[in-house]
Amino acid sequence: MDQTVWTWFFVLLSFSAYLGIAIWSRAGSTNDFYVAGHDVHPTVNGMATAADWMSAASFLSMAGLIAFMGYGGSVYLMGWTGGYVLLALLLAPYLREFGKFTVPDFVGDRYYSTFARVVAVICALFVSFTYIAGQMKGVGVAFSGFLGVPFEWGIIIGMVIVFFYATLGGMKGVTYTQVVQYCVMIFAYTVPAIFISLIITGHVLPQVGFVSNVRGEDVSMLAKLNTTLTDLGFREYTSTDKSMLDVIAITGALMFGTAGLPHVIIRFFTVKNAKAARYSAGWALVFIALLYTTAPAVASFARLNFIDQVNGATYITDDVDYATEAAAITAAGGKPVPAWYKDWEKSGYLPFEDKNGDGVMQYRGPNSPDGIENEVNPNRDIFVLANPQIAALPGWVIGLVVAGGLAAALSTAAGLLMVISSAISHDLCRRTLFPMMTDKTELRVARASAAAAVVAAGLLGLFATSLPFVAQVVAFAFGLAAASLFPIIFLGIFWSRMNKEGAVFAMLSGLISTFWYIVYFKFGGGTPDQYLFGVSPEGIGFVFMFMSLAIGIGVSLITAAPPQDIVDLVEDIRIPGTREPHGIADKGMQPDRDYGEEGLAPIPAE
């Protein structure tokens, strides 16, 4: 079978599995829809968490950014890995002990304020929709690059699939679908990496291969890549042009933003208790590490192979027969433009501009030693998808990678849609506007809001072509979460004096300042020389996080202290496993009977 047939085979097979799981795991109660009945095994939940965590940014864009940013791109690797450890160890067990499955639910009860709950809903929606825009761009890139499907139609197809398994199965369907998606992702990411590592270095483990010598040469792979890049006018791969402060800020924004990501936090409520949440966090870290430790190897192999095949190649126009022209160029001792380049060029992700009119593709850096201008501007989002083609791997490997890219984007999109759905149906409707709403009505509203979120996400995706690279869009979401949600979660757990006024001011100041900064510098004409302290939009959430923390603390100190029952509750949840189910009721507060340890009974049949 050729590459296209293999691609359709893996895509249709994986999509069929997702839909089958949705039908099998149809949610029958709000408990199933929101938290999968609290009975997911920790190992299974760890795998689902890893799939939820490793979005299109991790699968598609991170390696591409590292490939072209070199050491500077490692901020994404360090920030997202460290962020998950921070969330798993510092916050997840305490949030699970509190018994709230959404961030707004935690905020509303911890800060005894309906208004604070609504502000938290707004923050969660901002973060989720910013994040989901990146996922939709990833779906469009995968479809348009391999299957000949227009970018817009690729997004629509992806959203239809998510619509079925998210609205039908809820969190229960999403959980088991994400287990399958993780398996697809990890095979799709590691198999081509192993092949390419064997080809270039002879090592079966990519993690070892990319720091080893090139096969048949007495030079390490990274040293060869450094030399190749500097000869073409680029900086060394193992260096960066970012300031140390910006590197720290971006890493910090990604780390602390992780702790405020609603779609990750919700996963810790699908298990029975805080102990199971800690176990699932550990398993998730193992599953995440399999991909994240492979990413630097994928990045370096892709950059070296790209330069080898593209720089100095003779360009072939679309108005001649490619195969005939390529054979003629090869026979004359030349190097024709690779067929895979022509495929990606049609999708708009690999433009070529023949500036000197010699018909030869010149790939050069800003410090070009021969004075030749750069004529090739590759899109970073395509390199994981294009890597098997660049290395001339079998068609089935290419098809597997496409299915993996789609799985990465759809798994996170589904988790985000569940957050949006729960924020509207539970936090906004059930807990704020319509407190007398029945469980059955809430489930209907949840499904309706998930459907509406699918449509909104699709519309965002249709405009995603004008957005930066996927990982950078996702980094904006992390910055928003770091500045708005992390401070009030952290202080809500570890400082009992934090009150509702402090929480509201902290969230609003962090959200507004970070959102304004990102919009101004990415879409409003701001220039890098105007950056605050030299910090880019990807990292500004870390800076404004400290401002938000200070505002929250300051406002809390000059306003009334929280009620004593809240203070006692905060002291209780810092010792996971000691509080009885519905411990809030023991402190004189109204229990949240919907989402405590015991959960809900199934909705009765009509």
Q: What one-character-per-residue DSSP string does 193-239 give?
A: HHHHHHHHTS-S-HHHHTTSBPTTSSSBHHHHHHHHHHHTTPPPTT-
**Spatial separation of the C-alpha atoms in residues 429 and 415, rounded to whole Å:** 20
**Domain count for the chain:** 1
Instruction: Render pLDDT for 172-216 as a digit per residue (tens, 0 to 9).
Output: 667 777 888 888 888 888 988 999 999 999 999 998 888 899 988
What is the CATH classification number for the domain harbouring 404?
A: 1.20.1730.10
CB of 181 within 8 A of CB of 408? yes
Whether the CA torsion 14, 19, 23, 27 is positive or negative: it is: positive
Cross-strand pairs, 360 = 314
188 within a domain of the structure (yes/no): yes
**Spatial separation of the C-alpha atoms in residues 68 and 166, rounded to whole Å:** 35
Return the pLDDT at 34.
60
338 within a domain of the structure (yes/no): no
- Collect all residues with Cβ–Cβ distance below 8 Å to 526 and sequence separation of at least 6: 520
**Spatial separation of the C-alpha atoms in residues 401 and 396, rounded to whole Å:** 9
Angle at alpha carbon of residue 485, lines to 481 and 491, rounded to 5°: 140
**Spatial separation of the C-alpha atoms in residues 84 and 267, rounded to whole Å:** 13
Strands (E) located in 113-219:
none
CB of 263 within 8 A of CB of 415? yes
**Spatial separation of the C-alpha atoms in residues 123 and 110, rounded to whole Å:** 17
Return the pLDDT at 38.
64
105 within a domain of the structure (yes/no): yes
Neighbours of 529 (CB within 10 A): 6
What percent of the chain has pLDDT above 70? 82
191 within a domain of the structure (yes/no): yes
- Determine the angle formed by the axes of helices 244-258 and 470-484, rounding to 10 degrees: 70
356 within a domain of the structure (yes/no): no
289 within a domain of the structure (yes/no): yes
Return the pLDDT at 588.
35
CB of 142 within 8 A of CB of 409? yes
**Spatial separation of the C-alpha atoms in residues 523 and 467, rounded to whole Å:** 9
3-state secondary structure of 352: strand
Return the pLDDT at 504.
95
Task: Give pTM, 2 decimals.
Answer: 0.77
Spans in the chain with pLDDT lower than 50: 469, 578-606
36 within a domain of the structure (yes/no): yes
How far is the CA of 227 from the CAs of 122, 236, 238, 241, 300, in angstroms?
Answer: 49, 7, 11, 17, 13
Range of the domain at 262: 3-301+395-562
DSSP string, 412-426: HHHHHHHHHHHIIII
- Collect all residues with Cβ–Cβ distance below 8 Å to 235 and sequence separation of at least 6: 70, 229, 241, 365, 367
Neighbours of 324 (CB within 10 A): 10
Could you tell me which of 518, 523, 564 has the C-alpha nearest to residue 250?
518
Instruction: Render pLDDT for 530-580 as a digit per residue (tens, 0 to 9).
Output: 888 889 888 899 999 999 999 999 999 999 999 998 888 888 776 655 444
DSSP single-letter state for residue 603: P
Q: Which residue has the tokens 């919009």?
A: 519
Whether the CA torsion 186, 192, 196, 198 is positive or negative: it is: positive
- Collect all residues with Cβ–Cβ distance below 8 Å to 409 and sequence separation of at least 6: 55, 56, 59, 60, 135, 136, 138, 139, 142, 158
**Spatial separation of the C-alpha atoms in residues 250 and 73, rounded to whole Å:** 10
DSSP string, 357-398: SSSB-----TT-TT-PPP-B---GGGHHHHHHHHTT--HHHH
Q: What is the 3-state secondary structure (H, E, C) of 300-347?
A: HHHHHHHHHHHCCCECCCCCCCHHHHHHHHHHCCCCECCHHHHHHHHC
> What is the length of the chain?
606
348 within a domain of the structure (yes/no): no
**Spatial separation of the C-alpha atoms in residues 162 and 158, rounded to whole Å:** 6
